[in-house]
């Protein structure tokens, strides 16, 4: 049974996660002082202001096709995170052939959420040490830290120390992951910023300003926030039908915005399920529909899932009694 850790320390001064006042621990400690990275703070403020300006131009001067293009980029880049970095590369919950992995790598690069390797390393550490100091976006430090604060400061030393022990060798054997990591600083600006800005101008005569602020800046900031809500809102609000002793929760609103990644209580209990949710029928889980489509045409295989019996046992043993509400009483 996992401990309830909602009361873990939330102050900024830690000693590798051990309380300074502890008389039991006499080991020399490395002090952790919160170190804000002002470059990131400025960059994220500028991006969010730019996104607001983009939103204003959506309602005042943008062409409809530009808005549709921004939406398509949100879905594609989102899939590069959900189907790609998350379910495929971090969790190995399904397998993709070479062309599909190439497509997912390109989609993932549009999202600019760091390389697949770095994203997956942080995510594996997040699952293994969830809601401790070693969790990069430890939600016990509050909504803001889990949402974006963790990207605005140096990581807690526990993240790096404990993260060293996480096996990443499988990703280093995937030439697509290695290629993206090696060339990230060239690929990312072109694929995430330059191409999405040029396409609307060259293909349908959009203005440079709209092309930059809508499908590029606004789309990027929107997709980032949808992703971050999984770490913040879905770690704080929602039912816990599978395990009431952990904080990750089932959150419908997050599932809608994050293409099916809001069913976070289920996902933390059964991280190897390619659906990242119990429910089938693609309700609020577009990513599952995407993977199933590629399975149908033979590009995806080895889709892992959890048997209804195992789920039922777990629901009875550790659930909070809301399974009927979240399961809506059916199975696929």
Catalog residues that contact ligand ST9 under the rule CB under 6 A.
Answer: 37, 40, 78, 81-82, 86, 112-114, 118-119, 121-123, 125, 136, 151, 154-155, 159-160, 163-164, 223-224, 226-227, 230-231, 258-259, 261
Q: Which is nearer to ligand ST9, 104 or 226 (CB)?
A: 226
Q: Where are the alpha helices (DSSP H) in the chain?
A: 38-60, 64-79, 98-111, 116-128, 143-147, 157-163, 169-172, 175-182, 184-188, 195-204, 208-212, 219-231, 252-257, 264-269, 286-296, 308-318, 323-327
Q: Closest approach of Cβ 296 to ligand ST9, in Å?
A: 23
109 DSSP 8-state letter: H
Q: Which is nearer to ligand ST9, 78 or 206 (CB)?
A: 78
Give strand pairing partners of 301: 95
Q: Closest CB to ligand ST9 belongs to which residue?
A: 163
Q: How far is the CB of 73 from ligand ST9 (least distance, A)?
A: 11
Q: Residue 4 or residue 40: which is nearer to ligand ST9 going by CB?
A: 40
Q: How far is the CB of 321 from ligand ST9 (least distance, A)?
A: 25
SS3 309: helix
- Provide DSSP, 8-24: S--SS-EETTB-TT-SS
Neighbours of 114 (CB within 10 A): 17
The CB-of-74 to ligand ST9 minimum distance in angstroms stands at 7
Least CB distance from residue 3 to ligand ST9, whole Å?
22
CB nearer ligand ST9, residue 164 or residue 331: 164
**β-bridge pairing 300-301 and 31-32:** unpaired
**Residue 76 or 206 with smaller CB distance to ligand ST9:** 76
Nearest approach, Cβ of 39 to ligand ST9 (angstroms)?
Answer: 8
Q: Residue 174 or residue 261: which is nearer to ligand ST9 going by CB?
A: 261
- Phi, psi dihedral angles at 13 (to 5 degrees): -110, 110
Cβ closer to ligand ST9: 206 or 248? 248
CA atoms of 234 and 82, how far apart (whole Å): 15
Of 58, 48, 107, 114, nearest to 82 by C-alpha is 107
170 vs 262: CA distance, rounded Å: 26
- Phi then psi for residue 35, to 5 deg, are -120, 105
How near is the Cβ of 21 to ligand ST9 at its closest, in Å?
A: 26
Residue 146 near residue 235, CB atoms below 8 Å: yes
């Amino acid at each position: 049974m996992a401990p309830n850790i909602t009361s873990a320390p939330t102050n900024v001064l830690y000693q590798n996660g051990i309380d300074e006042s502890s008389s039991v621990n006499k080991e020399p400690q490395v002090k952790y002082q919160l170190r804000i990275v002002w470059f990131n703070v400025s960059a994220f403020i500028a991006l969010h202001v730019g996104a607001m300006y983009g939103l204003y131009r959506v309602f005042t001067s943008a062409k409809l096709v530009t808005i549709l293009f921004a939406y398509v980029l949100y879905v594609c880049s989102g899939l590069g995170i959900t189907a790609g970095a998350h379910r495929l590369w971090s969790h190995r919950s399904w397998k993709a052939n070479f062309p599909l992995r190439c497509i997912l790598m390109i989609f993932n690069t549009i999202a600019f959420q760091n390389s697949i390797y770095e994203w997956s390393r942080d995510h594996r550490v997040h699952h293994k040490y969830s809601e401790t100091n070693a969790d990069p976006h430890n939600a016990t430090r509050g909504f803001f830290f889990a949402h974006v604060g963790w990207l605005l400061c140096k990581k807690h030393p526990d993240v790096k120390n404990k993260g060293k022990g996480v096996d990443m060798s499988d990703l280093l054997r995937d030439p697509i992951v290695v290629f993206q990591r090696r060339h990230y600083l060239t690929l990312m600006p072109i694929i995430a910023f330059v191409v999405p800005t040029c396409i609307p101008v060259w293909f349908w005569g959009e203005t440079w300003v709209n092309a930059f602020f809508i499908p590029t800046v606004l789309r990027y900031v929107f997709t980032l926030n949808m992703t971050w809500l999984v770490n913040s809102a879905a770690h704080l609000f929602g039912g816990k039908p599978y395990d009431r002793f952990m904080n990750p929760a089932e959150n419908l609103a997050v599932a809608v915005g994050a293409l099916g990644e809001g069913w976070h209580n289920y996902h933390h209990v059964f991280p190897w399920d390619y659906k990242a949710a119990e429910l089938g029928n693609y309700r609020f889980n577009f990513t599952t529909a995407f993977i199933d489509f590629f399975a149908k045409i033979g590009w995806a295989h080895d889709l892992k899932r959890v048997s209804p019996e195992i789920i039922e046992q777990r629901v009875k043993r550790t659930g909070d009694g809301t399974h009927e509400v979240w399961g809506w009483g059916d199975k696929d």
